[in-house]
Amino acid sequence: QVQLVESGGGSVQVGGSLRLTCAASAYSFAISGYCLAWFRQAPGKEREAVASIYSDGTTDYAQSVKGRFTISKDNAANSVYLEMNNLRPEDTAMYYCAGTSGVIQYCPVGSSGFRFWGQGTQVTVYS
């Protein structure tokens, strides 16, 4: 069965950087028509999309992270990454990796379009 396992979270000072990794098992990066994404959820807030990457490499970002975060994937390693720079206190949240199932034409807009989810990794930004 598909498993997504996040790592790389931690506590970092404002302006610092972190790199999150999502290792996927039983999820084929070799085919086309899939989407992988990072979501986050802060206490008391709804889960929100942070960044997504389609199988052809097309990326999309939430406005709040554009220019600071970069999503990428390594097909050979079956992994997707989130490079986070210039971190702010409002970036503090649990970060989740998500993946779609079947063949899709583009990345879903909301979380309901993603079938597979990791357990999350905590990111805390302190001043």
By the 8 A CB rule, do 67 and 60 touch? no
What is the model's pLDDT at position 70?
Answer: 98
Please name the residues in contact with 80: beta carbons below 8 A apart, sequence gap of 6 or more.
21, 22, 24, 36, 38, 53, 71, 72, 73, 74, 97
One pLDDT digit (tens) per residue for the chain, 127 residues: 999 999 999 999 999 999 999 999 999 888 899 999 999 999 999 999 999 999 999 999 999 999 999 999 999 999 999 999 999 999 999 999 999 999 999 999 899 999 999 999 999 999 9
SS3 67: coil
By the 8 A CB rule, do 52 and 36 touch? yes
